[in-house]
Amino acid sequence: MRELICSGPVDDALGPSDLHRKRIEYVRGYIELVGARRVLDLGCGEGDLLLALAPMEQLERLIGMDVSQQRLGICRAALASITPVPATAVELVAGSYADARVAFPDIDVAIMLESLEHYCPRRLSRIEKTILAGYRPKRLLISTPNKGYDIEKGLSIHHRRHAEHHFEWCQARFRKWAQGVARRTGYKVRLDGIWQPDSTWEPTTQIAIFEAITE
């Protein structure tokens, strides 16, 4: 369920594939920073993020999950072409992360990269309960388009970057949602941004970083 092509605005010097790469670089940098060893990519799609993470020597377990068997097949083929072969095999799981019957214990970092907005808002509470209350990763990264950036670019408030998006939130709305989720599930959260033309602009992508509160 990864968004590979953005139909919405990007700066003239930054194409859709460049922005996608910057998101992946951000996630990889975070994983290196916190020293994560067990990583779960929720909505891995055709495996762009997994391909970037697979060579990381620090990883002991790397899992990708997606609801589409077709995308998982493409992902599997892409992973098989990596040379040299990564020391850690990538596990691929077919299923929905809204399904509470699936369990992923002892995950250091889980990632939802540009997939939240593909769900109906009425189902977000189900995802919240499954991932944070159920899987209970030590950390969770959720990225989503920033509506505020698009409005700054002069687009209508009703514009969406992709036809399959059920919603796109401004920073205030995303912050309110993320803080509510954190409060209900025993996490703390901070928000960050991925790429902005300069300091006067809002970031093109917003990301919530959840960290489990330990006693």
User: Domain residue spans in the chain?
Assistant: 16-212
Burial of 109 (0-12, 13-18, 19+ CB in 10 A): buried
Query: Average pLDDT, stretch 82-111?
Result: 88
Stretch 44-50: mean pLDDT, rounded?
93
If one compares 203 and 69, the residue with the highest pLDDT of the two is 69
Q: Which pLDDT value is given to residue 11? A: 46
Question: Any idea which of 31-45, 70-84, 119-133, 150-164 has the lowest mean pLDDT?
Answer: 150-164
Are the beta carbons of 206 and 196 closer than 8 angstroms?
no
Mean pLDDT of the residues in the chain: 84
pLDDT for 80 equals 92
| Average pLDDT for 170-181 | 93
Going by pLDDT thresholds of 50, 70 and 90, the confidence category of residue 8 is: very low
Does the pLDDT of residue 1 top 60, yes or no? no
Q: Worst-scoring range by mean pLDDT, 44-58, 81-95, 142-156?
A: 142-156
Which strand (E) or helix (H) includes residue 65? strand 61-66
With a cut of 50, say whether residue 13 has pLDDT above it: no
- More confident of the two residues 167 and 77: 77
Lowest-confidence pick of 114-123, 148-157, 190-199: 148-157
Q: Are 117 and 144 in contact (CB under 8 A)?
A: yes
| Structure tokens that stand for 193 in this block | 């941004």
Q: What is the CATH number of domain 16-212?
A: 3.40.50.150
Q: What is the identity of the amino acid at 167?
A: F
Cα R_g (the chain), whole angstroms: 17
Nearest to 2 by CA among 128, 118, 130, 126: 118
Write phi, then psi, for 172 (nearest 5 degrees).
-65, -40
pLDDT for 97 equals 81
